[in-house]
Structure 1
Amino acid sequence: MARRLWPSKTAINLSSRAEISKRAAELWLEGRTEPGADALVNLLRSDVGFELLQQIMQGSGTRWWTEFETGVHLAELNEKHEFLRKQIEALKGRMK
């Protein structure tokens, strides 16, 4: 996931968000070490936290995750709907 998110300077981006050394991030990327709990918490609290959580929970099928993910999707759709509603109203206002 880290390489997909940050194709260049992957270790630096990962280390800054996980609050670990660049070398520790390089070892993770090489598969030589595993991330610790503190680093995972830091990643989950970062700007990529939700994407990481989705990756971790993929295929879990647990009820709480399904409901949570559905709620997030509904919130996103409501936000888009409101944006489009405002655009429609603005266009209607120009027709008068």
Structure 2
Amino acid sequence: MCKAMNRSLVAVLLGGFGQDGGQAQEDSEYVGVTSAGPEEAALVLEGARDVIIVPGYGLAVAQAQHAVKELAGELQKRGAQVRYCIHPVAGRMPGHMNVL
């Protein structure tokens, strides 16, 4: 697991020890992030023939599992191959994916 995370065992075990929780600053700004709505996503996926879905923490928090399944079904009806890619250490650290 440490190899997949590119971290040492000590860094994994003590990585968050003694920190305040990492509250984001209110004036922080995301750089290089482009927002897209459902219409833009539909236009991008309309011609897709091979789609890889990478579920993560955001999908779990949003409880969007059913929406992703419906999206995959629609893509498959249109002839697209839909695959899922899972990170090798996703959900293996205590509390990492506790929302599932």
TM-score range, shorter chain: under 0.3
Higher strand share: 2
Structure number with greater CO (CA < 8 Å, separation at least 6) is 2
- Report the TM-score when normalising by structure 1: 0.26
- Report the TM-score when normalising by structure 2: 0.26
Higher helix share: 1
Larger of the two Rg values belongs to structure: 1
